Amino acid sequence: MAFPDSVREIYQAQLKALQEGGLFKEERFIHSPQSADIEVEFPVGSSLKKVINMCANNYLGLSSHPEVIKAAHEGLETRGFGMSSVRFICGTQDIHKELEKKMTEFLGTEDTILFPSCMDANAGVFEAILTKDDVIISDRLVHASLIDGIRLCSAMHDTYKHSDMAHLEEKLKMYQDKRLRLVVTDGVFSMDGDTAKLDVMVELCEKYNAMLLVDDSHASGFIGKTGRGTHEKYGVVGKIDVITTTFGKALGGATGGCVSGRREIVEMCRQRARPYLFSNTIAPVIIVGILKVLEILSATTERRDKLEKNTEYWRKGLTEAGFILKEGDTPIVPVMLFNAKLAQEFSKALYEEGIYAIGFFFPVVPQGQARIRTQISAAHEIHHLDQALEAFVKVGKKFDILHKTKQDIIARYGM
Ligand SMILES: *Cc1c(COP(=O)(O)O)cnc(C)c1O
């Protein structure tokens, strides 16, 4: 037997420790399409409950948009279900090229290459374009998928303090002897909802001859005046060398990702990136759905405008109610609770009140920084937000954390 009890016990002990530390993640089963109103089974085996979803990446409310669903149905009829091949053998349809072209236009870059996911885009891009003679300088809070991609390549790796531009400059000066320098950041940071200072970063990269890679997964489709992303917000469209992003969030929320940027970088990925060469790309039915999403977004900014209004309303409501939020202006609105167990229990109490919002804690965020990460959507109406606010206030009172300082909360619940 290759899995004796002694081995089983090792894992059982680790899992038990997670449970006892309040760090064990439980999934809740959704029985409806993704939307503002969902039907959930939780705990497993209980009857279905109608709740308001406050934690989806469905920023633009397009995950179950009727036109997207209709387009996907048509795509299924005309292009079939699967490709049964990777891109370079016989897995490229005309619609894959069409989506690459449309994303290039949308992001304001030179070229685009699709990946099965943004996780795969990040896993593939670094190794494809860097060698051991190069250096990567990344923000300390970048997404896990960037960290993994960086690990997979042979370039040297260093970091700068989160959004600390003086520290970044110091590091850029330090590595002037390298063949290439690549600065890496998220556009919108997924856990805190703050944005990278891309205007300053572009300036620094020009001054110190470095390339800039931005993962805009939590921005593509809605940040900036026409929703192009964080580079639009900071007025640097056309100046980001590499953008990686996902189709799994605002852009329909199904699956898929891409690398978009300088022509040669995209071509290097096509020749070298392993998740592109050795894994099937996005299925045709999803490609057709994403094309419809881009068509909708190019016709009107109505959805991102509504999202912006909803976000302001939500932040103002929570702040006035006495919650501690992470500062920012994106639809990622973290309600700080600091303690992991408190975050779990707060989430369960919200659920009782008909609100679905998940607690985040170590290792997803640093120790002592547990929170409920709420995310606003254009699918929310004011009545959803009002109902959610009411529930947050009720639960906030129950745990006695309203109008308290961080020290008050930690003194009572621990880190
Ligand atoms: C969600 C996310 C990803 C992963 O996207 P997938 O397409 O689901 O793999 C990558 N980077 C960032 C910053 C993300 O937020």
Per-residue pLDDT tens over the stretch 133-181: 999 999 999 999 999 999 999 999 999 999 999 999 999 999 999 999 9
Spatial separation of the C-alpha atoms in residues 336 and 212, rounded to whole Å: 31
User: For residue 16, is it within any domain?
Assistant: no
Is residue 102 one of the residues assigned to a domain? Answer: yes
pLDDT at 68: 98
Specify the CATH number for the domain of residue 265: 3.40.640.10
259 CB under 6 A from ligand 1? no
Q: Report the DSSP pairing between strands 257-261 and 242-246.
A: antiparallel
Q: pTM, whole model, 2 decimals?
A: 0.96
Per the residue annotation, which of 63, 163, 190, 377 is the catalytic one? 190
pLDDT of 180-194, one tens digit each?
999 999 999 999 999
Q: State whether 272 and 333 are in the same domain.
A: no
pLDDT of residue 21: 80
Per residue in 332-365, pLDDT (tens digit) is 999 999 999 999 999 999 999 999 999 999 888 9
Confidence bin at 23 (pLDDT 50/70/90): confident
pLDDT computed for residue 269 by the predictor: 98
Alpha-carbon gap, residue 38 to 48, rounded angstroms: 10
> 290 and 319, same structural domain?
no
In this structure, the residue with its CA closest to atom 5 of ligand 1 is 118
Q: Are residues 268 and 382 in the same domain?
A: no
Which pLDDT score is estimated for 364?
Answer: 87
Last residue in a domain, options 260, 277, 299: 299
- Which position has the token pair 């072209």? 101
Query: What is the residue range of 249's domain?
Result: 66-299
Amino acid letter at 98? E
Contact 240, 212 (CB under 8 A): yes
Q: What is the pLDDT of residue 298?
A: 95
- Asked whether residue 48 is domain-assigned, the answer is yes
Same-domain status, 344 and 204: no
| 280 CA from centroid of ligand 1 (Å) | 18
Phi, psi of 212, rounded to the nearest 5 degrees:
-125, 125
Over the stretch 198-245, which tens digit does the pLDDT of each residue have? 999 999 999 999 999 999 999 999 999 999 999 999 999 999 999 999
CA distance 19 to 372: 19
Distance CA 172, CA 164 (A): 12
Cα separation, 47 vs 278, in Å, equals 42
Residue with CA nearest ligand 1 atom 1:
217
**What pLDDT is recorded for position 26?**
83
With pLDDT > 90 as the criterion, what percentage of the chain qualifies?
95
Q: What is the mean pLDDT of the chain?
A: 97
Assign residue 253 a region (left: φ > 0; alpha: ψ between -120 and 50; beta: otherwise).
Answer: left
The verdict on residue 241 lying in a domain is: yes
- What number of other Cβ atoms are within 10 A of residue 49's Cβ? 16
Looking at the structure, tell me whether residues 104 and 200 fall in a common domain: yes
Three-state DSSP at 309 gives helix
* Neighbour tally for 293: CB within 10 Å: 24
Cis before 4? omega within 30? no
Q: Do 35 and 84 have their domain in common?
A: no
Domain assignment present for residue 26? The answer is no
Q: Are 330 and 220 in contact (CB under 8 A)?
A: no
- Residue finishing a domain among 278, 299, 320: 299
Q: Domain boundary residue among 241, 276, 299?
A: 299
Nearest by Cα to 357 from 373, 342, 341, 338:
373
pLDDT-based confidence at residue 292 (cuts at 50, 70, 90)? very high
CA gap 271, 88 in Å, rounded = 9
pLDDT tops 90 at residue 33: yes
Pocket flag, ligand 1, residue 330 (CB < 6 Å): no
Beta bridge partners of 398: none
pLDDT band at 93 (very low <50, low <70, confident <90, very high): very high
Active site (annotated) includes residue 306: no
Close Cβ partners of 102 (under 8 Å, ≥ 6 residues apart):
291, 294
Residues in the chain: 415
Where residue 84 falls (left for φ over 0; alpha for ψ -120 to 50; beta otherwise) is left
Q: Which of 102, 134, 91 is nearest to 281 (CA)?
A: 91
Q: Are residues 110 and 255 in the same domain?
A: yes
- Overall average pLDDT of the 259-277 stretch: 98
Ligand 1 atom 12, closest CA: 217
How many CA atoms within 13 Å lie on the side-chain side of 149? Answer: 30
The angle formed by the CA atoms of residues 39, 42 and 48, to the nearest 5 degrees, is: 40
Give residue 201's identity as a one-letter amino acid code.
Answer: M
257 lines ligand 1 (CB under 6 A): yes
The answer to whether residues 219 and 306 belong to one domain is no
CA separation for the pair 260, 248 (Å, rounded): 16
Instruction: Judge whether 233 counts as a catalytic residue.
Output: no
Residues forming a β-bridge with 39: 50
Residues 231 and 306 in one domain: no
Q: Which atom of ligand 1 is nearest to the CA of 216?
A: 13
- Say if ligand 1 is within 6 A of residue 224 CB: no
If you write DSSP's letter for every residue of 113-153 in order, what string do you get? EEES-HHHHHHHHHHHH--TT-EEEEETT--HHHHHHHHTS
Place of tokens 């009829």: 77
Total domains in the chain come to: 2
Q: Is 19 within the bounds of a domain?
A: no
- E strand or H helix that includes residue 39: strand 37-41
Planar angle of CA 79, 84, 87, nearest 5 degrees = 85
CA dihedral 43, 46, 52, 55 (to 10 degrees): 20
Do 128 and 228 reside in the same domain of the chain?
A: yes
Q: Is residue 77 part of a domain?
A: yes
Q: 354 and 253 share a domain?
A: no
Catalytic-residue membership of 249:
yes
The pLDDT of residue 232: 98
217: Cβ below 6 Å to ligand 1? yes
Q: What is the DSSP string of 185-198?
A: EESB-TTT--B--H
The distance from CA 9 to its chain's CA centroid, rounded to whole angstroms, is: 35
For position 415, what pLDDT does the model report?
83
Ligand 1 pocket check for 192: Cβ under 6 Å: no
Q: Is residue 23 part of a domain?
A: no
Once rounded to an integer, what is the mean pLDDT over residues 39-50?
Answer: 94
Give pLDDT tens digits for 364-409: 899 999 999 999 999 999 999 999 999 999 999 999 999 999 999 9
Helix (H, G, I), strand (E, B) or coil at 334: strand
Helix, strand or coil, per DSSP, at residue 18: helix
Residue 238's closest CA among 271, 212, 257, 219? 212
Mean pLDDT computed over 244-273:
98
pLDDT in tens, 121-141: 999 999 999 999 999 999 999
pLDDT tier, 25 (very low <50, low <70, confident <90, very high otherwise): confident
Choosing from 143, 249, 306, 380, the catalytic residue is 249
Do 286 and 398 fall within a single domain?
A: no
Mean predicted confidence (pLDDT) in 44-58: 96
Taking residues 293-303, report their average pLDDT. Answer: 97
CATH code at position 343: 3.90.1150.10
